[in-house]
Amino acid sequence: MNKPEKDLLADITVVEPPTTFAGVRASTKARRAWLRGFPVCAALGQHQIAHVGLADGIFRVVRQKQSSTYFLACYGGEGRVWVDGRWRRCRAGTACLLPPHIRNAFHTAPRQTWQFCWVCYMQPPEQRTVLASSSPVMAKFDPLPLRHAIEGLRDECRGAAAPEMAHHWVELIQSYVLRFARPWQTHERLATLWDQVAANLAADWSLPKLARLAGCSPEHLRRLCHQQLGRSPKHHVIHLRMRRAAELLSTTREKVEHVARLVGYGNPFVFSTTFKKWYGWSPSRYGQRRQGTTGA
């Protein structure tokens, strides 16, 4: 698995034996061969979930423009996940929430195996599923309750398949993902702050200005962001800008210069440099791949 970075960032799925995948899907319209043996549970569709499951082994997956929202929580071994323009370690007790329209890339760490559970969301028009402006990309998370809920749903669907029992398991799965995606429940001011930033990405969001809006000192805001989001306030602003830019480039025909202005970059060169650092493609090439967006 110790591959050059340029190879790790090409669209690819590599699975080495004896890797196993087990889970449940929302319908029989599976696009990936490894999903076709999963039992079907229509109740997943109530929360726009395409499939859930458990992975154990050695593998490498890259989707340059994933169309779905993807959540994974590690409970064993170690992997690497592409976050904020770099590879970050994902060990037991860590989870990732990867937005749509960006590079979705992860692989087992060298000389390791990796065990994690996942929840993959469809991306319906005009709906954001579990994502919000305050959602972390990578942070600490207890994966065991989610793992047990996925195992419970799978066992139910392979056995009695009682709709009311499947519904309860699905609700548990959704609740555990929301526990990660909505960390601001104890800090409502942060939710309001990041909603304001996301609604006006073109503004000049300095740390002092962010801190004033949050009603705290810059240092306290920095600590809260590292605790809840796994990044600094500055990097979360960049994350929101790059996420929105990728969405615009994937779903519209706006020119790069216009997209740059919409997300707060008066200089298209600085925007292009930052975008390429985060996603590996220049904005113009990313937009040209609009029709190549892949699903789960």
Strands 138-140 and 86-91: unpaired
Mapped to the 3 state alphabet, what secondary structure does 198-228 carry?
A: HHCCCCCCCHHHHHHHHCCCHHHHHHHHHHH
pLDDT at 67 over 60: yes
Q: What digits encode the pLDDT tens for the residues 229-280?
A: 878 999 999 989 998 998 898 888 899 999 999 999 999 999 999 998 887 7
Name the 3-class secondary structure at 189. helix
Q: Under the phi-then-psi rule, with left for phi > 0, alpha for psi from -120 to 50, and beta for the rest, what region is 85?
A: left
CA–CA separation, 278 and 238 (whole Å):
10
Please, how many CA atoms are within 13 Å of residue 168, restricted to the half-sphere of its CB? 7
Q: Which of 13-27, 119-133, 160-174 has the lowest mean pLDDT?
A: 119-133
For residue 282, what are the CA distances in angstroms to 82, 109, 211, 220, 278? 17, 27, 32, 35, 10
pLDDT at 40 over 90: yes
- What residues contact residue 256 under an 8 Å CB cut-off, 6+ apart? 249, 268, 271, 272, 283, 284, 287
More confident residue, 115 or 4: 115
Please, how many CA atoms are within 13 Å of residue 221, restricted to the half-sphere of its CB? 23
Task: Compute the mean pLDDT over every residue in the chain, rounded to the nearest whole number.
Answer: 87
Q: Phi and psi of 189, rounded to 5°?
A: -60, -35
pTM beyond cutoff 0.85 = no
**pLDDT of res. 13:** 87
Asked if 39 contacts 158 with a C-beta cutoff of 8 angstroms, the reply is yes
CA–CA separation, 2 and 233 (whole Å):
33
For residue 46, what are the CA distances in angstroms to 51, 203, 267? 12, 36, 43
CA–CA separation, 258 and 31 (whole Å):
34
Q: Identify the burial level of 270 via C-beta atoms within 10 angstroms of its C-beta, where 0-12 means exposed, 13-18 middle and 19 or more buried.
A: exposed
**pLDDT of res. 141:** 94
Q: Tell me, rounded to whole angstroms, the distance of Cα 160 from its chain centroid.
A: 33
Domains parsed from the chain with CATH numbers: 5-181 (2.60.120.280), 187-292 (1.10.10.60)
Q: Which amino acid is at 183?
A: P
CA–CA separation, 120 and 98 (whole Å):
10
pLDDT level of residue 186 (50, 70, 90 thresholds): low
pLDDT at 220 over 80: yes
DSSP string, 133-157: TT--SEEE---HHHHHHHHHHHHHH
